[in-house]
Structure 1
């Protein structure tokens, strides 16, 4: 071997070993620059505008009026006191508004799709299009919040749930439009296409706070952070078990703090996304980046997921001090395929306690075996201090491609007490394992008999 190459290899390996420590200073920098929203002193109580918390009266006009009054006063706080408030249609935010849902208050949305027309500009599984309005929708707003200890219920378990078996043609049409770069104005869906709306969507917004509320029974994704930045989500809880009920979906999102969240979802708890396929790759200037997830309780399908729609790229994700409070299929799941392109890099995960899962840590560049021509780059992924009681399938899975290997993976202080399959590691290079135990720890060797 060439001596200079050997020296370079040794220096590179040393640098990789030095750079896989959890970068707390970078986390602090992200958290410190996230700005919380600030609101004017104006307040309006919906009861004073004629709202009735009787679970029957349609309060749509009252909530629209409250938002209009806030706009007239350059913002303010809309107070929703104790009661059950039926709303037949969406809440559309304006800037500088805090929707404060007090303890004992519940907003219960209708499940009539007609109530969520006319269509708005939104995104559906990584493709921009016009569709039913999300139940709570903010577009191009700043300084906005949903706070309080109340509940938002999306009534997603009946009519909306029935859309799942009918969505295939609309879903495929949206993806065809993505792949053929159809003009956005022509991507109109809504009635007849059965693409369910998100519960809450912040689109092209900044300085966002979602705090302490409870989210139940969403039609589709619960909290979609789309093309937004400077976001704080903390102290919220979930019970939303319908199809595709992801808890939090940052997509093309920047500077995000997710902390002290108690999940109970029918799908991923946190799913970090960045657009799909051709459209996503055209937006590489706006990857999802600088996302901190900490002190959360996971329960649902998967804990933290990156992908599969991530074509603009995902980088600088920091997950720490989280645990499960119930079943998870997979703990940490990085998934992409050869349709996506883009990159996943600089992912740091530490201090995670998992109980029973199907797979503990799973990284695949060949999700569903789909696609060709646009393999993703996965590199610089670091796991440390991970415990898991049981993996009914695999402890650790790493799946790259022969001509596009997953690179620079470190696993430090990992203990999986029981696993059907310990490690499946293919098409990866520079995988560093230190103090990794799967199954019973070996003791000192016994003497020969």
Structure 2
């Protein structure tokens, strides 16, 4: 081996190893930047505007009036007291407003697609016009959804039936993405069967979602699209329909997700950054500076990055989380050769998993799709992770021979049982310290 190359390799490996410590100071700096919304003192109770919590009456006019009054007063709090309030249509936010859903209160949205006008939104990483999300905030600042009440998306009937009909609309959206079709021509809605998100904050900042319960979403539950300075804490889920991701930050930055009790029909947290051509064209707006801590995972996957991540994902910090039920995969990084972009600077520590299929899964060849735009995956750190059983694999790493995954660090990982311990393909600079998969080897005693 060339002496200069050997010295370079040793220096590079030493430099990489020095970064093994979880960078708590970087987490602290992100959290200090995040601003909670400032809400004016004005308050309005929807009941005083004619709302009836009888689970039958259409309360959309009263909620719209409450939003308009808050806007007229430069913001305020909309109080939803105990009762079940049916809404035949979406809530569209204005700035400087807190929607406070009190304990014992439930907002229950209709599942009639005709109640939801088309708005500018995104669907699986492609910008387009589609049915309005049930709660929609566009270009707002200082907004909040708080209280101990429930939001019910009624996603299990009509919306659920859309899943088997969506293929043509989904493919049309992806063709428009790949062919750079003008946004004004990307009209979907009726006849295309693309389900709306339950809650979407689009181009918003200074956002708080706290203590509410989310149930029965039509599609993704809480979508953070091109937003920043976001705090999500203390919320809980029971949303088990198709594609019911819990939280999807996309092209978003400075996000804190903490003390969340997930129970979802899909990913718990799925960090995204646009799909394919369109995502790569937005390379200046990656998803970044995302902190996930003290959460309970339950659903399909715990924390996922991708697969729509073409603008890049960086600076993700996950710590002090555990499972409270089934997960297919604990931490899952996924992309393919259609995406491009990058996943880098991901730090995961203090994760306790029970029984899952795969513990840590990193693939650059998701579904074996695509060509020409392989992604960069680098600088990924795992430490202090335990799991009782992996019914499939402990650790999976899948790169490409001509685009290897680089700089992976594993420290203090213990998986007590796994069908397949480790699959490591096309990765370089992989460092493992105190990694145990299966039964630990014992120190042989001296021969007598």
TM-score (norm 1): 0.99
2:108 matched residue in structure 1: 108
Q: Matches of residues 154-193 of structure 1 in structure 2 within 5 Å?
A: 154-193=153-192
2 CA distance for matches of 1:239 and 1:6? 54
2:50 matched residue in structure 1: 50
Matched position secondary structure for 1:175: helix
2 CA distance for matches of 1:244 and 1:86? 24
Matched position secondary structure for 2:327: coil
RMSD: 0.8
1:401 matched residue in structure 2: 400
1:433 matched residue in structure 2: 432
2 CA distance for matches of 1:59 and 1:262? 29
1 CA distance for matches of 2:396 and 2:6? 30
- Structure 2 residue 205 is the aligned partner of structure 1 residue 237: no
2 CA distance for matches of 1:279 and 1:207? 26
Query: 1:5: Cα distance to partner?
Result: 3.0
2:71 matched residue in structure 1: 71
What's the CA shift string for 1:360-395, capped at 9, x where partnerless?
000000000000000000000000000000000000
1:248 matched residue in structure 2: 247
2:138 matched residue in structure 1: 139
Query: 1:2: Cα distance to partner?
Result: 3.5
Query: 1:445: Cα distance to partner?
Result: 2.0
2 CA distance for matches of 1:393 and 1:54? 48
2:330 matched residue in structure 1: 331
1 CA distance for matches of 2:447 and 2:199? 65
Query: 1:20: Cα distance to partner?
Result: 2.2
TM-score (norm 2): 0.99
Matched position secondary structure for 1:160: helix
2:35 matched residue in structure 1: 35
Q: Matches of residues 189-204 of structure 1 in structure 2 within 5 Å?
A: 189-204=188-203
1 CA distance for matches of 2:10 and 2:401? 24
2 CA distance for matches of 1:194 and 1:8? 55
2 CA distance for matches of 1:108 and 1:355? 34
Query: 1:442: Cα distance to partner?
Result: 0.7
Query: 1:446: Cα distance to partner?
Result: 4.5
Q: Matches of residues 2-21 of structure 1 in structure 2 within 5 Å?
A: 2-21=2-21
1 CA distance for matches of 2:304 and 2:228? 19
What's the CA shift string for 1:134-180, capped at 9, x where partnerless?
00000000000000000000000000000000000000000000000
Matched position secondary structure for 1:329: strand
1 CA distance for matches of 2:427 and 2:175? 32
Query: 1:10: Cα distance to partner?
Result: 1.6
2 CA distance for matches of 1:6 and 1:240? 53
What's the CA shift string for 1:224-283, capped at 9, x where partnerless?
000000000000000000000000000000000000000000000000000000000000
2:120 matched residue in structure 1: 121
2:286 matched residue in structure 1: 287
2 CA distance for matches of 1:398 and 1:80? 48
Gaps of 5+ in 1: none
Query: 1:6: Cα distance to partner?
Result: 2.5
Query: 1:320: Cα distance to partner?
Result: 0.1
Query: 1:448: Cα distance to partner?
Result: 5.8
Matched position secondary structure for 1:48: helix
2 CA distance for matches of 1:445 and 1:414? 23
- Structure 2 residue 76 is the aligned partner of structure 1 residue 85: no
Gaps of 5+ in 2: none
Query: 1:347: Cα distance to partner?
Result: 0.2
1:24 matched residue in structure 2: 24
Query: 1:4: Cα distance to partner?
Result: 3.3
2 CA distance for matches of 1:265 and 1:13? 40
What's the CA shift string for 1:398-428, capped at 9, x where partnerless?
0000000000000000000000000000000
Query: 1:12: Cα distance to partner?
Result: 1.1
Give the aligned length: 448
Q: Matches of residues 355-374 of structure 1 in structure 2 within 5 Å?
A: 355-374=354-373
2 CA distance for matches of 1:246 and 1:2? 50
2 CA distance for matches of 1:432 and 1:103? 49
